[in-house]
Structure 1
Amino acid sequence: MPNALDLRRRIKGIKNIQKITQAMKMVAAVRLRKAQERVKDSLPYYEGLEGTLLDVIASGEEFNSKLFEEREINHTGYLVIGADKGLAGSYGSNLVKAVQRHSSDTGHVSLVVVGRKVKDYFQRRRVEIDKWYVGISEKPEYRCAADIARNIAELFVTGRYDRVYLVYTKFFSPAVQQVVVEPVLPLVIEPEALTQGRTVQQIYEPSLSEILDEVAKKWLEAAVYKGLVNAAASEVAARLNAMSLATDNAQELISQLVLEYNKVRQANITREITEIVGGAEALR
């Protein structure tokens, strides 16, 4: 049985940890509200570009854009959006499991990753990483999404990738987040979606293909930004839940240790009283 001094030290140490987890929980709660607003604000632009893309394609004119080019799949690319920091529960592990599960039957695979944790994980397992971005996962900016989208498009157009998937954790609520794997390149428009587009005859300058190519690039930027802000909100929510559980577990452990400490202390007091009584009887 540990002595009273050891128990006091453990109780003090756990209380210090509890203060840290409580502070991180409060910080995550404040950041979550802002992250939720970014997710909400990103949707109108993304949906607007998607509608514009459908309008252009629904014109019925022939176009030639490399971002729509479908070819035999020999090399698949994954844009994986993770976190730079840990202490977020199973947030990171769920993400890498989804990538491993989805890519198990896709042949040659390469990654473009966002987040130090994801990069380190796949590097240790010697997975091919073409490009990585660190330091942007917590507060993503649109210029970062534009840079990532430009590199992804270049890797696809040059033939490095024959298909590209976007992998991120979609934010539904502070309690619910889900990893999703979405195909982004080549751009595929479902036939039934074309009926939603505007069918009024229009004149496109300089040409339909150039306009469509530019709109497709903007849509890709918006899709990447949507993934970044959803991942940021999901990371904060996961950290909030993890720190909340850690704080509660620390309190439960402190209660158990205090009870054990009181038992040890009571046993010591009883032993000392017994020794005093025994010594007094011996002197009679």
Structure 2
Amino acid sequence: MPSLKELRGRITSVKSTRKITSAMKMVAASKLKRAQARAEAARPYAEAMQRMLAALARNVTAQDGSAREGLPVLLAGTGRDQVHLLVAITSDRGLAGGFNANIARATRLLAGRLRGQGKTVKLLTVGRKGGDSLNRDYADALIDRLAGSGGRDVAFSQAGDLADRIAAMAQAGEFDVCTLVYNRFNNVMSQTPTELQLVPLSLPSNDNERGDPSGAAYEFEPDEETILARLLPRNLAIQIYRAMLESAAGEQGARMTAMDSATRNAGKAIDRLTLNYNRTRQANITRELIEIISGADAV
């Protein structure tokens, strides 16, 4: 049975841990509101851009007889499906429950499935935790490990730099398909690992769909090819930026939930240790009284 000194030390240690987890919960809660607002504000613009480019791409491919030759590589790809670039977005910090582990697991499953089909897989990670996790199993496929936002607000320039790098790799023919893996923010309790194909541009399965779901038609000025050349790199940066914002909001939500659970568990542990401390203290007092009474009777 632990001594009173050991129990006091454990209680003090757990109380210190509870203070830390409670403070981290409050910090995550304060950051969550802003991160959630930015993620939700980015969705309509990114989705509208995707719909407009889909309509534009259908017009161009229809005019060209669906031929890939002459089309931008960000739209049509290389025409092959052999080399896949997977871009995994995680956080730089831990203590966020299964937030980073879920992305690492989803990326491993996707990479394993592609390798099982005989494909070549390349990995590019954003965020220290994703790089550390995937480096253990896919060190041969990991081409680079980029830093995340470090807990600060996500800057569009960061997404733009990553988009420029992916576009340059696509132009150089270093991959055929690029897929983004990130956590989509649903609410504080739920983040969904999501796969988004960036290159070639993913089009809706319904070839007869024009414009957006409301039935609106688009008229383009200047010609479609010129607009595509300008907007495709911009759309790539916007989709990456949106994913980073979703991931940032999901990180704060997951951390707040994890720290809330840790704080409550610490409270339960303190209650158990306090009960054991009181029982041990009472047992020691009872034993000492028995020893005194026994000594007095002996005299």
TM-score range, shorter chain: over 0.9
Distance in 2 between the 1:202 and 1:40 partners? 28
**Residue among 209, 216, 224 paired with 1:195:** 209
Q: 2:67 aligns to what? A: none
Q: Structure 2: which 5+ residue stretches go unaligned?
A: 65-69
- Matched to 1:90, the amino acid is G
Structure 2 residue matching 1:87: 3-state secondary structure: coil
Partner of 2:226: 210
Q: 1:200 to 1:31 in 2, by over 3 A?
A: closer
- Equivalent of residue 180 in structure 2, options 158, 161, 166: 166
Are 1:56 and 2:56 matched, yes or no? yes
CA 1:202–1:174: 2 relative to 1, 3 Å: closer
SS of corresponding position for 2:100: helix
2:219 and 2:39 map into 1 onto residues whose CA distance is 35
Q: Distance in 1 between matches of 2:202 and 2:287?
A: 80
TM-score, normalised to structure 1's length?
Answer: 0.92
Letter in 1 for 2:3: N
Q: Establish whether residue 175 from structure 1 lines up as the match of residue 189 from structure 2.
A: yes
- Shift in CA distance, 246/115, structure 1 to aligned 2, threshold 3 Å: same
Counterpart-to-counterpart distance in 2, 1:114 and 1:243: 24
Q: 1:45: Cα distance to partner?
A: 2.2
Which residue of structure 1 lines up, in the alignment, with residue 76 of structure 2?
Answer: 69
Determine if contact 1:119/1:132 at 8 Å carries over to the other structure.
yes
Partner of 1:96: 104
Report the equivalent of 1:275.
291
Within-5 A mapping of 1:1-284 = 1-57=1-57, 59=59, 61-62=63-64, 64-70=71-77, 71-106=79-114, 107-125=119-137, 126-136=139-149, 138=151, 139-190=153-204, 192=206, 195-197=209-211, 199=217, 202-204=220-222, 208-283=224-299
Given that 1:168 and 1:231 are in contact with CA atoms closer than 8 Å, whether structure 2 keeps it comes out as yes
Name the SS for the 2:206 alignment partner. helix
CA distance in 2, matches of 1:55, 1:95: 31
What RMSD, in angstroms, separates the aligned Cα atoms of the two structures?
A: 1.9
Give the alignment's TM-score, normalised by structure 2: 0.88
Residue pair 1:58, 1:195 contacting (<8 A) in 2 also: no
- d(CA) in 2 for partners of 1:265 and 1:119? 50
- How far residue 192 of structure 1 moved from its aligned partner, in angstroms, is 2.9
- In structure 2, the CA distance between the partners of 1:21 and 1:236, relative to structure 1 (3 Å rule), is same
Q: Deviations over 1:72-104 (max 9, x none)?
A: 222110110001001011111111110111111
